[in-house]
Amino acid sequence: SPERPKAQVTGIINIDTISENFGNEEIVDLNSLKEKRLLPQKCNYFKVLARGVLDKKLTVEANDFSRDAVKMILLTGGNVVKIN
C-alpha cells in the first residue's frame, strides 16, 4: 500500500524566543529548535513571527515567515531561508 503523507504538525516561534536561545551567527532550523525544546518533537512545519526584538545576526531556515520577521532578521545582517 502506498505510504500516506505525514500530517502537517505546525509550530510557531517568535523572534524574541529565537533571540533568547541562540547566539550570534548561529543557524536556526527545525532540528535546532527541537533540540532546545522550543518546538514539539512531532512538529514538521514552522512559521517565524515578529514578536519581540532580535539583536544578533542569525540564519533562520523556516517553512514560513511573517513579513515583519523577515525585515528584523535582514536588518540585523542575518539570512532568511524559506524551506518546503
How many angstroms separate the CA atoms of 7 and 14, rounded?
23
* CB distance 47 to 63 below 8 Å: yes
Backbone angles phi, psi at 47, to 5 degrees: -120, 140
**Virtual torsion, Cα 39, 64, 23, 54, nearest 10 deg:** -110
> Residue 4 — pLDDT band, cuts 50, 70, 90?
low
- C-alpha angle 61/5/27, rounded to 5°? 10
Per residue in 18-70, pLDDT (tens digit) is: 999 999 999 999 999 999 999 999 999 999 999 999 999 999 999 999 999 99
Backbone angles phi, psi at 44, to 5 degrees: -130, 10
